[in-house]
Amino acid sequence: MEDVKNFIAARVAKELQDGDIVNLGIGLPTLIPHHLDPSVHITLQSENGFVGLKPVEKGQENPHIVNSGGIMAGIAPDGAFFDSGTSFAIIRGGHVDATVLGALQVDENGNIANWIIPGKMVPGMGGAMDLVVGAKKVIVAMEHTNKGKPKILKSCTLPLTAKGQVDLIITEMGVMEVTADGIALKEYNPEYTIEQIQAATEATLIIDEDIKPMI
């Protein structure tokens, strides 16, 4: 597959509903706005203090407007800036409809580890801990494996960001829903067989009765 990240971002975009307030994590999730249907209008919230986040247009770069990853961003005409306290009140108050973020590991209990690998330098957890607990829906968008090693596990081995908060996992191989019984494979990428997807996944996948190709 030529562009795995954009493939994943395009599928995630289909999960976002018109009128949603959405927080996008750094990296792959920032590609999602480029794949939204023009009829779908979402409000992007950036935890460093504004709503109305949008991709920056060439020639309109402003070093004073950056997303939570410190990357220059744009702001919609109806956007608004505010302090960090207000930003996290929005998140912790349950006003964010969905958050999309990457992960180092996710497990069959909906646990997520996405902020540190012990022994490696990191700037900090950022807003992830608050977002995965405060958002109404948590979508993990990531590549299925890391150098061939499964990232979807029976149990996370890295320090957790939060327990039991992941609702949906979208990778280049499929769309998976975290249920009370485990991880259900709802859609699969026809470039892979079900057996190949399971082989790349440590957790035992529940194959949905109505499984269909990724759309």
Active site residues per annotation:
47
CA–CA gap between residue 39 and residue 213 (Å, rounded): 24
Position 99: which residue type?
Answer: T
Single out the residue of 210, 203, 172, 208 nearest to residue 190, CA to CA: 172
Please say whether the beta carbons of 95 and 21 come within 8 A. Answer: yes
Specify the DSSP element, H or E, that contains 107.
Answer: strand 105-107
Beginning with the edge strand found earlier in the chain, give each strand of the sheet holding 182-188 in spatial order.
74-81, 50-54, 43-46, 21-24, 98-101, 137-141, 168-170, 174-179, 182-188, 205-213
For residue 207, give the DSSP letter.
E
CA–CA gap between residue 77 and residue 83 (Å, rounded): 19
Please give the structure tokens belonging to residue 67. Answer: 């997303």
120: left (phi over 0), alpha (psi -120 to 50) or beta: beta
Position 78: which residue type?
Answer: D
